[in-house]
Amino acid sequence: MSSMWSSVGPLTRSPADTLRSHISRQLLSHERRQQCLQGQRWLLGFRIRRNPITVYILNLAIADFTFLLFIATSALLYIVENVFCSTDVLKYQRLLLLSSLFSYNMGLYLLTAISIERCVSVLCSSTCRPQHLSVMVCALLWALSITVIATVTTLCLLHEHEHCQKALISMYVLNFLIFAPPMVISSTILFIKVLCGSQRRQYKRLYIVIFLIVLFFLLFALPLSIWHFLKQVSYIAIMPSQIIFLLACINSSIKPFIYFLVGSCQRHCSLASLRVAFRRVFEEPEYDAACSNDTVMETLAPAS
C-alpha cells in the first residue's frame, strides 16, 4: 500500500518499507474513532436543535467518517494483498485512495464555508441569514467535491499519467488558492474577536472551536495536500506517506474531543454531559434563532 500512497497518479509500485505493516495496524485502530464520530453525528443530528452551524458540523462529521472509512478499507485490502499474494486488489486500493481525497476536499470546503459564514455574521451582525442557506451551501459543496473527484478519478484511471498529473495539480491549486486562504483569514478574524472580548460567551465557545479545528486541519491535514502536490511536481518527499495519512486520520478523529473539551467546562464525561457540552457550543441564542423566523414571517406577510 505504500506504493499506492506514494503517488495517486501513475499505476506503479515502489519497494516495500518497514513502516507499512505498522501503519496498517494504526489505521485499523481507527474503528473506535469512527464509532466516536457516529456518536457525534447522532448527537448533532437528533439530540440538538438544528441550526445553520449544526448543519455544517453534521456534514463535516460525515466527511470525516467517510475519509476514515476509505482509509481503513484500503488498509484492509493491503493486508489481503500481502496475505494472499494477490495483485488484483491494487486497482481497488487506488480507487479507495482517490475516494478518500473526495472526503478530504469536502472537509476543507466545509471548514471554509463555516469560517466565512461566521465571519460575515460578526462583521455584519445586523443582517439576518436567509433560511436554509447552510443546507444549500452544503449541497453545492458536495456537488463541487463530487465533480472534482469524478474528473480526477476518470483522468487517473482511464487516461495517461500526464492527464492525471494535470488534474491532481489543478485540484491542489483549487484547494490552496481558492479555499484555504479564506478559511485561514476568516478563522483568524473570529479568534481576534474572542481575544478582544467583544463576543458573548455562547459565541466565544463556537469561535474557539472553529479556530481549533481549522488549526488542526492546517497542522495535520494540510500536509497531505502538500505531500501529494510535491509528488506530482517530482519533488522528493521529506516525510513517509504513512505518517502523512496517519496525521490526516488524526485530524478527522479529533474534532469530537475538541467540541467536548470546549463545551464541557470540566464536567464529568458522560453521555448527558456530552450532550450539554455540544449544546453549549453549537446552539444559538434564542433571539438569533428568532431572527430567521422573523425573516420568514416578513416574507409571508402581505404587503400593506
**Alpha helix (H) residue ranges in the chain:** 2-6, 20-28, 31-42, 52-84, 90-123, 133-158, 161-173, 180-196, 201-216, 222-232, 241-264, 271-282, 286-300
Residue 45 neighbours by CB distance under 10 Å? 15
Nearest Cα neighbor of 1 from 88, 68, 93 is 93
Nearest Cα neighbor of 138 from 162, 163, 156, 111 is 111
Greater model confidence, 173 or 232: 173
pLDDT at res. 294: 45
Greater model confidence, 66 or 203: 66
pLDDT at res. 145: 95
Mean pLDDT computed over every residue of the chain:
76
Q: Tell me how far apart the alpha carbons of residues 79 and 283 are, in angstroms, rounded to a whole number.
A: 43
Nearest Cα neighbor of 8 from 101, 117, 130 is 101
**Contact by Cβ (8 Å): 232, 259:** no
> Which range among 11-15, 57-61, 135-139, 217-221 shows the weakest confidence by mean pLDDT?
11-15
**Contact by Cβ (8 Å): 109, 141:** yes
Question: Is the pLDDT assigned to residue 186 strictly greater than 90?
Answer: yes
Residue 66 neighbours by CB distance under 10 Å? 20
Angle between helix 90-123 and helix 133-158 axes, rounded to 10 deg: 150
pLDDT at res. 293: 47
- The model's pLDDT over 226-271, given as tens digits with 9 standing for 90+, comes to 888 888 877 666 778 888 989 999 999 999 889 888 877 654 545 5
Q: Distance of CA 104 to CAs 180, 192, 222, 286, Å?
A: 13, 27, 10, 34
Q: How far is CA 130 from the centre of its chain?
A: 24
The x, y and z cell numbers of residue 297, run together, are 414571517
Q: Distance of CA 125 to CAs 117, 118, 119, Å?
A: 11, 10, 9
